[in-house]
Amino acid sequence: MKDQPFALIGVNSDELETAKKAVASNKLNWRSFQNSPAGAEASISSEWFVTGWPTIVVLDAEMRIRYRGHNGEAATKIAKELVAQTANE
């Protein structure tokens, strides 16, 4: 959804060096955050109540959760619908 009002971010629970290698080898072009970076008071997965990987969360423009689950196809469908709604406004 390049050039659309859409952003994708990732959160990973791998060791930092493993995560960096995965980003490079898979040519990931979105921001990815370490789940429990050094010095953090809490992990992202704890704050977002993630109990399994991968968990997909789709937020709308008002930051409301519109999808939360493990089905990439369902998440993509909702994300595309939200982008289309934004384009029509």
Residue 89 has pLDDT above 80, yes or no: no
pLDDT at residue number 63: 92
**pTM of the complete model:** 0.79
Looking at the domain assignment, is residue 52 inside a domain? Answer: yes
Domain that residue 69 falls in:
9-88
Looking at the domain assignment, is residue 1 inside a domain? Answer: no
**Number of domains composing the chain:** 1
pLDDT at residue number 87: 78
Looking at the domain assignment, is residue 2 inside a domain? Answer: no
3-state SS, the chain, equals CCCCCCCCEEEECCCHHHHHHHHHHCCCCCEEEECCCCCCCCCHHHHCCCCCCCCEEEECCCCCEEEEECCHHHHHHHHHHHHHHHHHC
pLDDT in tens, 2-52: 788 888 999 998 888 998 999 999 999 888 899 988 888 999 999 999 988
C-alpha 44/C-alpha 33 separation (Å) is 9
Looking at the domain assignment, is residue 3 inside a domain? Answer: no
Looking at the domain assignment, is residue 74 inside a domain? Answer: yes
